[in-house]
Chain A
Amino acid sequence: MSDLTPGGTSESGRGGVSWYEASARQRVRLLLDAGSFTEFVGPEQRETSPHLQVFDLPEQFDDGMVVGAGTLGGGAVLVAAQEGRFMGGAFGEVHGAKLTGLLRAARDLTSTPVLILFDTGGVRLQEANAGELAIAEIMRAVVEARHAGVTVLGLVGGRSGCFGGGGLIAGCCSALAVSEQGRIGVSGPEVIETNRGVEEFDSKDRPLVWRTTGGKHRRLIGGADAFADDTVDAFRACALDLLRTTGPLTLDTLRNEQARLRERLDRFGACADARDVWAKRGVDDAGAVPGLPADDFIALAGRVAEPSHDAR
């Protein structure tokens, strides 16, 4: 099925289409070369979650995960996209298994890159055990694929961000591209507030939430390798760029990551706020960072963010 059309956002050209607003299907179709996408186990096969009925919840024909193959800049890629509006993009049994299968194929093929379009709050509560195991299986499959030489890119810019186990999978990828809207973390702000109190983290303080978990902070602290404006075109450009620059996962890669993360803890471990991190990073006016337009921010990040290749 190469032409699944989402309801919601304009189909006229990918440039102006907001990544944040687009559906998973639309992101996939407009990210890849026109007409190149083929879906595996698509919605017409109705492989829905076997568990949502127990909770009297509606199913989605693709269980919120689109997987398939296509080309990007003429090169073959495998691609997976989460639909962040269906159950918050959360990992359930079927949802996760599709991505696991895709990554195992990549491992076997050894050279076809994989793009993961994250949009998830983490594990789907109603099938928590299945979702948790799916995440563990996906992480294993990512590492196996990368160990076999495959590049696995993560793109984060959807409304559910990339939280919980999704954040851990993102941390296993060869490289990440993120937009301002693309929040990455493990414990969401509401979860921290519920467990530790509003003094620890005020989830209603939106500027705080965004500067602690948002794309700009992740880029500046080294948690993401590229920053994209919120358009499909910008993500496409980032993906093409990152595909050229990433290598396989080796022991050296993890050694480098160990050093990179060690340095991060040493330098920023005592910072109370993201603005302190940015200032230490060398940003002159840390308070102005959230308001910077994408181009200006990309230029800034180019000057101060660490090159993190082969350290992830």
Chain B
Amino acid sequence: MTLDEILQSLFPDGHDIARTDGLLSGSATMKGGAVAAVIGVEGRAPLGVDGALKLGGHVLDALERGGDAPVIVLVDSDSQRMSKRDELLGLNEFLAHLAKGLILADLRGRPTVGILYGHTAAGAFIATALATRVLVGLPGAEPEVMDLPSMARVTKLSVEVLTEKARSTPVFAPGLDNLARTGGVLETWDPSKPLADQLAAVLGRADTRDRRDALGKERGGRPKAADIAERVRELATRAG
């Protein structure tokens, strides 16, 4: 689906979203009339200090306005922008700032939903789609924590060997399915049905607690994370 088709299907009652330099920011009318804040990255743009600050500011503005309408994050991005300037200026703080804004929104009763409709990778992924309460994917989305050729370089294994290994475990290879099995993506939407309905359904049943590790365990992609985290939590709670 193109971004226009997605926006049309998500917000049939209209939206006011600015699209500049690969960044999306604006608002949209939800089914039922609530006005959601929308941010995002399109066209596989990298996310650098300037973009992260702009999106972060948009989220904070929405929070300032109050209410309990959702914040929607649409993502088709590159990785974080890799440059000396970005690192010099402290890209980690800018990306974290955006992520903190999204997480705080959720904690303040503004459900956050990430919609991954294209590519994303590494730090850009963490700061946007993975900072939401719920992340869903559209068919064809290609999240990529680390691409196989880069992995091949570092692990000194061939891409063929890595591809073979990826058949037995979803834990390292790129792709929507692998990420879903490790618990990162809640569900993949059906583009042939109205996205607005699917969004409403997700908002209706989303948990405010972070349950991605439990989901990864259920789906077999992350066998240990949920249990380890829970054991540590219990021990630490008792010790504290």
Contacts and interface: CB of A to CB of B under 8 A. Distances in A.
B60 A265 contact: no
A37 to B, nearest CB: 11
Contact of B236 (A102, A168, A170): A102
Contacts of B21: none
Interface string A53-92: 0110000000000011100000010100000000000000
B57 interface: yes
A134 B83 contact: no
A130 interface: yes
Given A69-B236, A137-B213, A269-B89, A101 B96 contact: no
Contact of B127 (A140, A168, A196): A168
A2 to B, nearest CB: 12
B99 interface: yes
Interface in B84-133: 84-97, 99-101, 103-104, 107-108, 122-123, 125-127, 130-131
Contacts of B49: 261, 265, 269
B233 interface: yes
B228 interface: yes
B146 A139 contact: no
Nearest to B223: A50
A265 to B, nearest CB: 6
B169 A54 contact: yes
A212 B60 CA distance: 29
Contacts of A136: 126, 130-131, 184, 212
Interface residues of B, number: 79
B230 interface: yes
A191 interface: yes
Given A125-B172, A254-B60, A100 B239 contact: no
Per DSSP, are chain A's interface residues mostly helix, strand or loop, or mixed? helix
Interface string A101-131: 1101110110010000000000101111111
B19 interface: no
A170 B92 contact: yes
B236 A97 contact: no
Interface stretch (B29-37, B69-77, B151-159, B190-198): B151-159
A153 B111 CA distance: 27
Contacts of A94: 224-225, 228
B223 to A, nearest CB: 6
Contact of B104 (A69, A78, A96, A251): A251
A112 B240 contact: yes
A213 B210 CA distance: 32
Contacts of B90: 184, 218, 221-223, 261, 264
Interface in B170-200: 170-173, 178-179, 182-184
A164 interface: yes
Interface of B: 49-50, 53, 56-57, 60, 63-64, 80, 82-97, 99-101, 103-104, 107-108, 122-123, 125-127, 130-131, 145-146, 151, 154-155, 157, 165, 168-173, 178-179, 182-184, 210, 212-213, 216, 221-226, 228-237, 239-240
10 contacts: A50-B224, A94-B225, A94-B228, A101-B232, A130-B172, A133-B213, A136-B131, A143-B103, A187-B87, A201-B83
